[in-house]
Structure formats: C-alpha cells, structure tokens
DNA sequence: GCGGAATAGTAAAGCCTTCAACTACGCTAG
DNA sequence: CTAGCGTAGTTGAAGGCTTTACTATTCCGC
C-alpha cells in the first residue's frame, strides 16, 4: 500500500529514519486516538445541536448566548465580553444577537460608561425560552455523553479538556 | 443567586428532591467536565481548521474528503459512501465535490454497476495537494493536541472517543 | 482641548451548509 | 413488460459564518 493518506500517515510513507526537516508522522496509537476524538466530537456536537433545534427551535450557539447572559448579574453583558464567553467572533455575535432581538429574547442598550459599547440584555421572554430549553438540553447531554461514560472516564474527560483549554485559551 | 442558568443548573434552582418528571440536573463535577469538553473541543476544531486553511487553503472538511479518497484502492468512492465516511450529508458532499472538481482535485465518473451512482475519483493533482497539506495538518494536530497530553491522557482520550462512537455511530 | 491611534460594534459580500424538492435509475410484483 | 416504489445523487433557495471595510467613540500625549 503505497497510496494511503490520513492524518497519521504521509501520502507516501516516510523514510525509515526521520530526516532533518521530516515531519513527525503519527504512530498507530496516536492516529487511533486522534481519529476517535475527531469523529466522536463531531458526532456529539452534531447530535446535541440537532436535538436542541428539533425540540426547542434553538441552536446550541444561540442557547449558549442565552446561558451566558442568564449567568450574569443584571442578565446583561457587553457585546465583546459576550462574544468572548461564547467563543464567538464579534461579527458572528452581532448577527446572532440581531436574530435573538427579532425573537424578542434579547435587546440592545447603549452602554452608559462607554458610548461606543452596546449592552446585550436578556429579556423575560428570553429567560423563559431558556427555562424551557434547559431541561431538554441537559437531558441530551446526559443521554449522549455522561450516561455513556464511567465516573473515571468523566474525570479523565474533564482533565483532558482542562489541559487543552490551558493551551488553547490561556489565562 | 436565583437567576443563574447553565447546562448544569436550571434557570430556577430545582427543588431539593427531584420530583417525578423532574429533569436530572448536572452535578458540579458533571458540569465542569461537560463544559471543559465543550469549550476545548470547539477551540481545538477551530484552531486546527484555521491552521490548515491559513497554510494550505484547504479546510478540514475538504481535507477529509481527500484523505478518505486516498485511503481507498483506486482512489475512488461512491458519493454516498464518501459522505458517510466524512460524516457529511449527501447534499453537503455533493456541493463540496463540485468545488473540489473546480480545483481539479477530484473528478466524477458514472458508476459502472449502478447507473444511478457516481464515483468520486481523486486526481493526481488532488493527491499532490494532499501530500502538501498532510505534514502541515499532522504538525498542527501534534502541537495543539498530542504534545499537550501525557501518554495516559492520550490513551484515555482514545478510550472515551471510542466509547462515544459506539453510542453515536453504532456498527 | 485637539489630533491621531485604538477600540466597539455593525454592514456587506461571498462561501458553506441545510432543507426540501426534483431527476434519474433500478428493483420487484403482477 | 410495466407500474409503482425505493435509492442515488443533484439542485436551488434560505440562512449562518467569515472576512473585510467602515462608522462612531474614546483614549492619550502634547
């Protein structure tokens, strides 16, 4: 087999000994671990998002915005702070908040301290929508993630996630 | 605080004892594990995809199509088989293959055995593009994932991923 | 205060994905 | 053989996300 390519192996097998600027290809084990993570995370995100949309009409991205606002005293956040907490670009958040505004779940308010800023504020209707969606989402997270794993696996998952977060989102 | 909402806690705290059709809220530990997984996986997908696009102009979704084709004898697959392996809908794959065709990396060919079917075939140019991109991508997977984790964590990650896959993609 | 740089947020264009038809072909019962 | 159904794949419209550019406001050094 001289024509296999994957994340683990080069399209053309690497030389026996790695050369000076030879890329470090993945071992069999690394490959299997990486692909298992890749596919399982894609499938899980997809599943949770679809469940939530089907049963509540709220995508996970929008749900996250509502959650972040609800967790804040005053149920409001500056647009950029909200974007950061939602792992969203400012532009993306701006679009998303516009749509949530149309639904009457969030409203914008000019920021008192900084005339440039906008405050996204969760409305009562938005809070009610979140109250309705939260149990559905939690159930879905349980069914497809937590119920599938042993307590040790859940601990390990947290450990791995936190390790990666320190690298990917320092501070 | 009676107004916090997250994936773990209800918008209004649940009653002390869970009622009959009371949702099962997440414990503190479950919540932390779930959120760590959620954010780290979002950030990692995003990071790997951006690295690949920036350095090669190929998104991870397109890269995966090329990989799957390259791993097949004959460097070709039926459209629906390819869609399944890429965790993609048929429509999505159809659009994507159209773009890859424009780049000259894939071509379509009617299937001999089944007149309804199409075969996606990797071209030599497509294979060359993959050869160029693979080392970049592998390096990125190493830097942001494998190098961050201990051997035990990598083993645990694989174990968790495979467990979830059995649930999410049975068979 | 004032001119320039930096920051907050929005808007527009283009690509990607989804959803819902729609075409074309194959399979099977009568 | 042919009607009807199921399967393979594509298409087009709608909406979301990214990128880039733009406006408005604030900050800072003088």
pLDDT at B8: 47
Interatomic distance A85 CA / D19 C1' (Å): 21
What is the b/e burial string over B52-61, where b = at least 16 CB atoms within 10 angstroms of the residue's CB?
beeebebebe
φ/ψ region of B122 (left if φ > 0, alpha if ψ in -120 to 50, else beta) reads beta
Helix, coil or strand: residue A24: coil
Residue A73 lies in a domain: yes
User: For residue A146, what are the CA distances in angstroms to A94, A154, A157, A163?
Assistant: 33, 7, 10, 19
Q: Which residues of A fall within a CB distance of 8 Å from B124?
A: none
Structural domain harbouring A93: 58-150
Counting the structural domains of chain A, the total is 1
Domain assignment present for residue A146? The answer is: yes
Least confident of A16-25, A32-41, A106-115, B142-151: A16-25
Determine the residue of chain A that is closest to B61 in CA distance. Answer: A42
Answer yes or no: is B67 within a domain: yes
Averaged pLDDT, A23-30 = 87
Of A5, A157, A168, the CB nearest to B134: A5
A77 located within any domain: yes
Check whether B101 has a pLDDT greater than 70. yes
Q: Say if residues A97 and A108 touch (Cβ distance below 8 Å).
A: yes
What percentage of chain A carries pLDDT values higher than 90? 80
Cβ <8 Å between A158 and B47:
no
For every residue of A42-82, DSSP letters joined together read HHHHHHHHHHHHHHHS--HHHHHHHHHHHTSTTSEEEHHHH
Q: How confident is the model at residue B1 (pLDDT cuts 50, 70, 90)?
A: very low
The proportion of chain B whose per-residue pLDDT surpasses 70, expressed as a percent, equals: 87
Query: For residues A103 and B31, what is the distance between their CA atoms, to the nearest angstrom?
Result: 28
Q: What is the pLDDT of residue B4?
A: 46
Q: Give me the pLDDT at residue A22, please.
A: 56
pLDDT higher than threshold 70 for residue B7: no
CATH at B60: 1.10.10.10
Report the distance separating Cα A80 and Cα A119, nearest Å. 9
Strand arrangement, sheet containing A118-122: A76-78, A118-122, A106-110
The integer distance in angstroms from the CA atom of A86 to the C1' atom of C1 is 40
Would you state the pLDDT for residue A124? 96
Which residues of chain A make contact with B156, given a CB cutoff of 8 A? 153, 156-157, 159-160
Q: How many CA atoms lie within 13 A of B157 on its CB side?
A: 30
Residues of chain B contacting A44 with CB distance shorter than 8 Å: 164, 168
Nearest to A100 by CA among A67, A54, A62: A62
CB-based contact A56:A62 (threshold 8 Å)? no
> What is the average pLDDT score of chain A?
89
In a domain, A2, yes or no: no
Distances (CA, A) of A75 to A94, A98, A112, B89: 17, 17, 16, 38
Q: Does the residue B155 lie in any domain?
A: yes
pLDDT value of residue A112:
82
DSSP state of B15: P
Instruction: Give the chain A residue whose CA is nearest to the CA of B159.
Output: A33
Strand D nucleotides with an atom less than 7 Å from a protein beta carbon: 6-12, 16-21, 24-27
| Mean pLDDT of the A20-48 span | 90
* Strand C bases with any atom < 7 A from protein Cβ: 7-12, 16-21, 24-26
In a domain, A102, yes or no: yes
- Residue B110 forms part of a structural domain: yes
pLDDT surpasses 50 at A88: yes
For nucleic chain D, which protein residues have CB less than 7 Å from any of its atoms? A 59, 61, 88-89, 91-92, 95-96, 99, 114-116; B 50, 53, 78-81, 90-91, 93-95, 97-98, 108, 111, 114, 116-118
CB contact under 8 A, B43 and A75: no
Residue A37 has pLDDT above 70, yes or no: yes
What mean pLDDT do residues A58-74 have? 96
Q: What is the distance between the alpha carbons of residues B105 and A35, in angstroms, rounded to a whole number?
A: 24
Question: Any idea what the Cα angle at residue B127 is, between residues B90 and A31, rounded to 5°?
Answer: 75
Number of other CB atoms surrounding residue B79 within 10 Å: 17
């Amino acid at each position: 087999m001289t024509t296999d390519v994957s994340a683990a192996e080069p399209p053309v097998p690497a030389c026996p000994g790695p050369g000076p600027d030879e890329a470090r290809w993945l071992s069999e084990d690394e490959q299997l671990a990486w692909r298992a993570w890749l596919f399982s995370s894609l499938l899980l995100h997809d599943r949770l998002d679809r469940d939530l949309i089907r049963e509540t009409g709220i995508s996970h991205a929008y749900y996250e915005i509502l959650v972040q606002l609800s967790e804040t005293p005053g149920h409001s956040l500056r647009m950029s702070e909200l974007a950061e907490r939602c792992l969203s670009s400012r532009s993306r958040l701006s679009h998303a908040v516009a749509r949530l505004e149309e639904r009457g779940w969030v409203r914008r308010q000019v920021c008192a301290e900084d005339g440039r800023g906008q405050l996204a504020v969760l409305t009562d209707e938005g809070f009610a929508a979140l109250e309705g969606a939260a149990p559905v989402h939690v159930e879905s997270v349980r069914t497809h993630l937590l119920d599938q794993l042993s307590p040790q696996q859940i601990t390990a998952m947290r450990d791995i996630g936190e390790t990666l977060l320190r690298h990917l989102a320092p501070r």
